[in-house]
Structure formats: C-alpha cells, structure tokens
Amino acid sequence: MVAKPPEAVVFDIGRVIVRLDLQRAFTAFSLGVSTSKSLDSSQVPTPQQIWTTIQTDRRFFDWQEGRITPQRWYEHITRQLGVTVAFEEFCVAWNSMLDPQAILPDNLFAQLATRYRLGLLSNTDPIHAAHLEACYSFVEHFPVRIYSHEVGASKPSPVIYQAALTALDVTPAEALYIDDVAEYAEAARQLGFDAIQFETPQQLGGELSRRGLIP
C-alpha cells in the first residue's frame, strides 16, 4: 500500500543539489601551506586532508552554528592552516567548493512546488549561504530555507529539523526529508519524518515516483 503523499518536501543541499569540489577549493590552500612552511611536494596536504582538518577543528561547529563571524573564522582557520591569503581571496576559495552545476534539475523542484511545500535544510555557514542565495536558481523554488548558522543548531540536532517543520507549518508525519548522509536521514526518521538517503538522481526519482510525488 502506498503511503499518503507528504504536505512538504525538504531537501539537504550539499551533495544532494550542489556538488562539493574540494580539489578546486583547497588547491590554493595546499600551495599556500607548502610555501609558508617550505614543504616539499610529498609533504603538501591534499585538499581532502585540509577539509578533514577544517571539519575536526574545535571552532568548526561554532562556524556552522553562527557563533563566530566570517572575519573571525577566516582569521582562525588560515592561522590553523598556516596560509596567508586576503579575506576576499579566502571567500572566493571557500565558495569555489560549491560546484556551479547543480546535481538535480530546476524542473524537478518546479514540478514538486506545484503540489507540495518545499524547504531547504542545510548545515552551512554564512559565506556559503550568501553565495547559494546569490548564484543558484534552485533556491527560488524553496520559500523555506533553514541554514544551521541562522538557527544556532546543526544536523542531527532535533532543533534544526523542528525549525523546518515550524517554518513549513507541518507535522513530522506530513514531511519527507532527503539527505545524502545516512545519519541525518535517520535522525529525521526518528522524529517521525519519511526520509530518503540520496544516492543518485535516478535513485531519488525512483523513490519519489514510488511515493506518488512525480510520475
């Protein structure tokens, strides 16, 4: 038996709608570390190593949850990485992590928006959020956009999921959540959402069709 379609559909952004290109973002940082520390090529950190360093930094959740300003984050993380770069150049490099070519097409969101309330729910920072709002057309289809730095909480905290439910004016049982991270999809299920762990556009299309959201 097919379950009743939801009233609202909520999407994660990173690796669901927008690809993350670590190589493009952190190549300049890698070179900067090499130059500042006089490292040979075998010692230069890879973009993935730099991203791991950033994600495990003690201030990372402060950054994601809005407790540190962009200027202070820039000063902190460039100091931690040993990189000398101007703030404007840092912002350009940071935003270059977001691939300009979206994973999912705008027409999918336009189709869903005719029947369902749409929301975005993302662990993201003010530099990325401003770039997303300014440079990506898909945001126009989402009247509700919940960013972790604005609500002071990040997934998998129930606080950020509840912020989306409140903004969409639905109960958990009336919402479908889509995220590439299994832990975050499961956190939504534990709160009563239906949830899909995103793998590919084709897989998502099949899941949406099975639920009767698209043909």
Q: What is the pLDDT along the chain (215 residues), one digit of tens a residue?
A: 456 889 999 999 999 999 999 888 877 666 555 444 543 445 567 788 888 989 999 999 999 999 999 999 999 999 988 888 889 989 998 999 999 999 999 999 999 999 999 999 999 999 999 999 999 999 999 999 999 999 999 999 999 999 999 999 999 999 999 999 999 999 999 999 999 999 999 999 999 999 999 99
Same structural domain, 148 and 81: no
The count of other CB atoms within 10 Å of the CB of residue 143 is 13
Using CA atoms, how far apart are residues 11 and 160, in angstroms rounded to an integer?
Answer: 13
* Residue 49, pLDDT score: 84
**Residue 180: partners with Cβ closer than 8 Å, 6 or more residues away:** 12, 14, 15, 16, 197, 198, 199
Query: Is residue 37 domain-resident?
Result: yes
Using CA atoms, how far apart are residues 117 and 150, in angstroms rounded to an integer?
Answer: 21
Same structural domain, 124 and 191: yes
Q: Token pair 């940071």 is at which residue?
A: 94
* Residue 29, pLDDT score: 67
Same structural domain, 68 and 126: no
* HSE-up (13 A, CA, CB side) for residue 177: 33
Same structural domain, 56 and 107: no
Query: Is residue 65 domain-resident?
Result: yes
* Residue 76, pLDDT score: 96
50-83 per-residue burial string, b: 16 or more CB within 10 A, e: under 16: bbebbeebeebeebbbbebebeebbebbbeebeb
* Residue 47, pLDDT score: 80
**Domain boundary, last residue among 51, 76, 96:** 96
Same structural domain, 109 and 39: no
Parent domain of 31: 22-96
Using CA atoms, how far apart are residues 30 and 101, in angstroms rounded to an integer?
Answer: 24
**What are the contacts of 75-82 at 24+ separation with CB within 8 A?**
80/53, 81/29, 81/32, 81/33, 81/50, 81/53, 82/32, 82/33, 82/36, 82/37
**Domain boundary, last residue among 96, 119, 138:** 96
Give pTM, 2 decimals: 0.92
* Residue 35, pLDDT score: 45
Span 50-76, pLDDT tens digits:
889 899 999 999 999 999 999 999 999
Same structural domain, 78 and 107: no
